Structure 1
Amino acid sequence: MNDRRLLRVLQGERVDTVPVWMMRQAGRHLPEYRETRAKARDFLDFCYTPALAAEATLQPVRRYGMDGAILFADILLILDAMGRNVRFLEGEGPRVDPATKASDLSKVPMEKILAHLAPVGETVERVRASLDNSTTLIGFAGSPWTVGVYAIEGRGGTDKADSRLFGYQHPEDLDGMLDQLVEASAHYLKMQ
C-alpha cells in the first residue's frame, strides 16, 4: 500500500490528516541548513554537491515531519547547464549575464545540458534512498518564460519589458530559446 499521504490526496483519496509541505521549506531559518550551507564554496556548489543538497532536502522533513520533501535546487540550474554565467550574489539574489544579441542564446546540445545536471539526479537518488514510505519527494523546475526572463534580463523581479522587447525584435530567437528551455525542463523534470 502507498503510505505517502501527499500522493494519496493528489490521487483523490481521503486521508486521516491533511498532508503538509511548504514552499522553500529548506532554508536559512534552520540552523542545520546554515551549517550545511557553510560547507559549500557558493550557492551553485551547494546545489551541485549531492551530499549537501540531499541533506538540505531532508532537514525540514526530519525537523518538522513534513509529508513532502522538496528537492533542494534552483530554477536557474538549467541556465547554468546551458553555459550562461549564473551567480548568486549575497544580498542581491541571482544574476545571469544578460543576452544582448540573438547569438547569446545559441542552442546547446541536450546531452551537454543533462550531463551538467547529473549531480541533481544523484541528489534525487540519495534523497529517495533516505525517505521513508510516508514522505513524497517533490521536484520542480522554473517555467520556460521565467527562466528565459533571467537569460534576457539578467535577473528576476523586473517588469519584463526587456524580454518583451527582445521577443518583438527577435521572435525567432525567443521561440528557439523557449523551445530549448521547454525541452531541457522536460528532461530535467523527468530526471527528478
Structure 2
Amino acid sequence: MNTKPKLIQVLEGQVVAPPPVWMMRQAGRHLPEYLELRARAKNFLDFCYTPSMAAEATLQPVRRYGMDAAILFADILLILDTVGLSVRFEKGVGPIVQQIDTAADLAKVTPQKAADRLSPVYETVARVKAALPDDTALIGFAGSPWTVGLYAIEGRGKTDKSLAWRWAHGKPDELANVLDLISEATAHYMAAQVEAGADALMLFDSWAEGLPNNIFREVIIAPTKKLVARLREMGVTVPIIGFPRGASAMLPEYVQETGITAVGLDTAAVPAFVNAALPAGFPVQGHLDPLLLIEGGQRLDDRVRELISAYEGRPHVFNLGHGIRPETPIAHVERVLEIIRKG
C-alpha cells in the first residue's frame, strides 16, 4: 500500500482517482476563521512573520475541507523584504515595493543572508508539518524570478508591466542580473523550506502572460531552468510545480525546458491542447475558473466533471486556474469537493 500523500503520488507521475485536490489561496479571505485571525496582526508582513498565525492560517482550510494539501501561508514578496527593499501592503492597493534602478540595488544582502532572515517562515513550515495528517502534503512556495523582479522594477503589481518589459527589450543584461540575484536567494529560501518539512515546492510566475515568445524564453524559461537546476544541485529532491500563468502556446516549451516536475494550468488552458502538447504522463494541476466557483450552479458541476474526465488518463491535481477569491461561497467549495470525491 502506498503511504505517500495522494498529491505526491500524482506529482511523481501516478494516476490517482479521484484526483487529489487543493486550491490556490485556499488559506485566506473567503474563510471567516481567517478573517478573525488576520484581525489580530498589526499588518500583513507581521502576519507572515508570526509562525503561530501563519501556521494556523495554513491549517484552516485543511481542517474545514479536508484538502489533500496545505500550502504555506506566506507571500512571494518576502524575499524582496529580506534583501533590503521596503515592502508594504496597502488595503485596496496591494503591495508597494521600493523600486530598483539597477541589479546592484538587490546585491546589498547576500542570497544566503536574505534566506536566513526568513527563519520565521521555516518555523511556520515545521509547525504545519507537525500538525498535518500523514496523508496531507505540505507545499512550500516562492515567486519565480521574473514575477518577483517585476515587482521590484515596477514598484507595485497593478501596472501595465511596461517598465519591466522595456527592461527585457532594452536592458536585457541588467534584467538578467536582477533575475540571477533573485533566483539565488530564492533557491536558498526554497531549500530551507524543504529542510523544515515541505513535501513539494511551487513556483508562481503570476505575470508570465502576454510576453513575446523570445522574451518568454529569456525571462520565464531560462531563469526557471536555472532555479530548478540550482535547487537540485543543493540536494532538493522533492517535486516542483511550475505555474507560468498565461503561458498559452509557450506551455510545452516551458515544460520541456525548465526541469519542473508538474505544471499548473491557468483558467484559459484548453484540455485538448494540454493533452496533445504535453508529454504523456506529465502531471498537470488546475484549472477551474475561480469566477465560476463564485457563481456555482449546474455550470460549475459540469465543468468540474469535464476537467476530471479530460485528465483521467494523466496524473492530475484538481485546482483552480488562479487564486480563490474573497467572495467565494464556502458551499461552492464544498460542492466541488463533493463532486470530486463522490462523483
- The TM tier, using the shorter chain, reads over 0.9
1:30 is matched with 31
CA contact (8 A) 2:54 2:74 kept: yes
1:105 is matched with 106
Q: 2: CA distance between counterparts of 1:70 and 1:151?
A: 24
Q: 1: CA distance between counterparts of 2:182 and 2:122?
A: 18
2:150 is matched with 149
CA contact (8 A) 1:49 1:119 kept: yes
Percent identity at matched positions? 60
**RMSD across aligned C-alpha pairs, in angstroms?**
1.7
CA contact (8 A) 2:83 2:107 kept: no
Q: 2: CA distance between counterparts of 1:51 and 1:113?
A: 22
2:22 is matched with 21
Which one has the largest radius of gyration?
A: 2
Closer, same or farther: CA 16–162 of 1 in aligned 2, 3 Å: closer
2:81 is matched with 80
Could you state the TM-score of these two structures normalised by the residue count of structure 2? 0.53
Q: 1: CA distance between counterparts of 2:103 and 2:127?
A: 39
Deviation at 1:51, TM superposition (A): 0.6
CA contact (8 A) 2:84 2:106 kept: no
- Count of aligned pairs: 192
CA contact (8 A) 2:51 2:124 kept: yes
CA contact (8 A) 1:2 1:8 kept: no
Q: 2: CA distance between counterparts of 1:12 and 1:105?
A: 38
Deviation at 1:124, TM superposition (A): 0.4
1:9 is matched with 10
Q: 2: CA distance between counterparts of 1:103 and 1:185?
A: 17
Deviation at 1:158, TM superposition (A): 2.7
Could you state the TM-score of these two structures normalised by the residue count of structure 1? 0.92
Deviation at 1:106, TM superposition (A): 3.2
Q: 1: CA distance between counterparts of 2:162 and 2:17?
A: 48
1:188 is matched with 189
1:42 is matched with 43
Which residues of structure 2 form unaligned runs of 5+?
194-343
Equivalent position amino acid for 2:51 in 1: P
Which residues of structure 1 form unaligned runs of 5+?
none
Give CA-to-partner distance per residue, 1:106-141, whole Å, 9 cap, x none: 342123202211111110000000011110001111
CA contact (8 A) 1:107 1:180 kept: no
Equivalent position amino acid for 2:156 in 1: R
Equivalent position amino acid for 2:164 in 1: S
Deviation at 1:169, TM superposition (A): 5.2
Deviation at 1:162, TM superposition (A): 1.0
- Matched position secondary structure for 1:184: helix
Q: 1: CA distance between counterparts of 2:169 and 2:29?
A: 40
Deviation at 1:5, TM superposition (A): 1.1
CA contact (8 A) 1:85 1:96 kept: yes
CA contact (8 A) 2:84 2:108 kept: no
- Matched position secondary structure for 2:19: coil
CA contact (8 A) 1:102 1:170 kept: no
CA contact (8 A) 1:113 1:184 kept: yes
CA contact (8 A) 1:152 1:162 kept: yes
Highest relative contact order (Cα 8 Å, sep 6+), 1 or 2? 1
Deviation at 1:167, TM superposition (A): 4.6
- Matched position secondary structure for 1:190: helix
